[in-house]
Amino acid sequence: MSDDRLDANDAVCATSPRLVIEIISLFPEVFTSFLQASLLGKAIASGLIAVERTNPRDFSPGRHRQVDDSPYGGGPGMVLRPDSVAAAIDDAENRRGRAHRLLLSPSGRLFDQKCAADLAARKRIMLICGRYEGVDERIAQLYADQSVSIGDYVLAGGEVAAAVIIEATARLVPGVLGCGESVVEESFSAGRLEFPQWTRPPIFRELGVPEVLLSGNHAEVARWRRREALRRTLLYRPNLIDRYPLTEEERAMLAELEGTA
């Protein structure tokens, strides 16, 4: 496993990106507009994040640039050959250095906010996108530091999965978001979903805003939000409560929510 995590004393100079993202993909053009838009586009334009794309087809050994072949043992579809994928990885790393390599696969470990935070603390990550029936297993055996899935469904290729991982990771890189606060109090950061939010106008289609949010009492607002975050988590993602047990305060809130206090 690569050990490329930033440590606290790592000086980040203005000319070197804080995070380099290597993408190995047969369809690098899929990322073009995604990498130019909004916060990610700004982070790339300012040099805070760098994204490099390498296409295994450019390293195909055959005259016809074929990158896939039929599976040994038979069966439908085609499998990405290991030689062109390996050559693309080697070329990217020979130019820019060893990255923490993630193979996108529905069979991988489920990607979550903790995983995004781990990746955001690294200097160099690589996202290897599969296509067709997947990638020859020897890439997982010889190259991948980990296999990652973005959910229990099957996409046609790893590009959209890579985009999800890039966006979730990049916004955690210090300096990418305008306000450092915004990643602290949001869904999953403390094992809870985020509390609901309202903005102007105060009445919209006869629906108002909870009184407490208009009270100006910051302590009350903060407690109400923690309670609503708990309510939502219990309703939509009770599995998070098993992973991040209730605090003393939350036990009291749970009793309130159940109407027993």
Residue ranges binding ligand SAM (CB under 6 A): 104-107, 129-131, 133-135, 149-151, 153-158, 161
Find how far residue 23's CA is from the centre of its chain: 14
**Mode of pairing for the β-strands spanning 124-128 and 146-149:** unpaired
* Cis peptide bond prior to 201, omega within 30° of 0: yes
DSSP 110-176: EP-HHHHHHHHTBSEEEEE---TT-B-HHHHHHT-SEEEESSSS--SSHHHHHHHHHHHHHTTSTTS
Of 77 and 97, which CB lies nearer to ligand SAM in the complex structure?
A: 77
CA gap 20, 122 in Å, rounded? 9
Of 103 and 230, which CB lies nearer to ligand SAM in the complex structure?
A: 103
Of 56 and 158, which CB lies nearer to ligand SAM in the complex structure?
A: 158
Q: How far is the CB of 24 from ligand SAM (least distance, A)?
A: 10
Of 17 and 28, which CB lies nearer to ligand SAM in the complex structure?
A: 28
Q: How far is the CB of 148 from ligand SAM (least distance, A)?
A: 6
Nearest residue relative to ligand SAM (C-beta) = 130
Q: How far is the CB of 9 from ligand SAM (least distance, A)?
A: 35
CA gap 218, 9 in Å, rounded? 36
Of 66 and 107, which CB lies nearer to ligand SAM in the complex structure?
A: 107
Q: How far is the CB of 134 from ligand SAM (least distance, A)?
A: 4
Site of tokens 């390498």: 54
Q: How far is the CB of 86 from ligand SAM (least distance, A)?
A: 15
List all residues 6 or more positions away from 125 whose beta carbon is below 8 Å from its beta carbon.
19, 20, 21, 22, 99, 100, 101, 102, 119, 169
Q: How far is the CB of 132 from ligand SAM (least distance, A)?
A: 6
Of 57 and 223, which CB lies nearer to ligand SAM in the complex structure?
A: 57
